[in-house]
Amino acid sequence: MAVPAEPSKVSKVAITIDHAFVVRFVHALDERLTDAETYLTELDAAIGDADHGTNMTRGLHAAVIDLEAAPDRGVAAGFAGVGRSLIRAIGGASGPLYGTVFATLGRTLPQDGAVDARAFAAGLREALHAVQRLGAAVVGDKTMVDAIAPGVTELERRLGHGDDLAAALDAATRAARGGAKATTPLRARKGRASYLGVRSEGHQDPGASSSALVFDALHAAATSPGTAADPLLP
């Protein structure tokens, strides 16, 4: 009699976007931003006011503390809480912009239960639109939109082709990093860097760079039990 084949050891466990996912994501982003703090601040020193790295780590430390103190509020409320923490702790221009990303996820994701990958991608698309409205920025303005837009588009495309969430977020992270790197030759048209005019050319945008790390952290959260940070940008 034939022996049934053992289930494949490499078969993937479907990742659920639940409270634990939000917790893994916030820890992963905190870790990545802490690793990249000096790098992000150097980028901001070139075309801004040299505080992006410290602002972002301060915001994520606050989000970790808030999330750990809170009970399981569900995915949407969890992301909304992250948004509030970032708005409170980051300040400047990045606080409201990053806060808007997560507040929009909190407002647009299903309010009860786990969230599926398609609904999550739709929430990120809404978050991109909200950031674009707030900053009046389009792709090519040398802002965080230059990383988020290609990241969201690639996530949607890969999910549409049947990739699982981890694979789709892996591809989305590469697209977001590519978008961040592609800001280097651009002249800034929005934000503080735009005051520099031609002198903003030749520097990678700090906000696009940190936004690429958001996708990397989402990918880590989708890869149980989590993956180590990729080598630092660029």
Residues within the interface to Mg ion (CB under 5 A): 44, 48-49, 51-52
Please tell me the distance from the alpha carbon of residue 144 to that of residue 131, in angstroms, as a whole number: 9
Cα-to-chain-centroid distance, residue 56: 12
CB of 210 to Mg ion, least distance (A): 11
CB of 205 to Mg ion, least distance (A): 11
Q: Which residue is nearest to Mg ion (CB)?
A: 48
**Cβ atoms 210, 33 nearer than 8 A:** yes
Taken as a whole, the chain contains a residue count of 234
Closest to Mg ion by CB, 147 vs 159, is 147
CB of 90 to Mg ion, least distance (A): 10
CB of 51 to Mg ion, least distance (A): 4
Q: Cβ neighbours of residue 158 under 8 Å, at least 6 residues apart? A: 167, 168, 171, 172
Q: Which of 216, 213, 145, 155 is nearest to 183 (CA)?
A: 145
Place of tokens 């230059």: 146
Closest to Mg ion by CB, 28 vs 193, is 193
Closest to Mg ion by CB, 44 vs 170, is 44
Please tell me the distance from the alpha carbon of residue 212 to that of residue 215, in angstroms, as a whole number: 5
Closest to Mg ion by CB, 53 vs 123, is 53
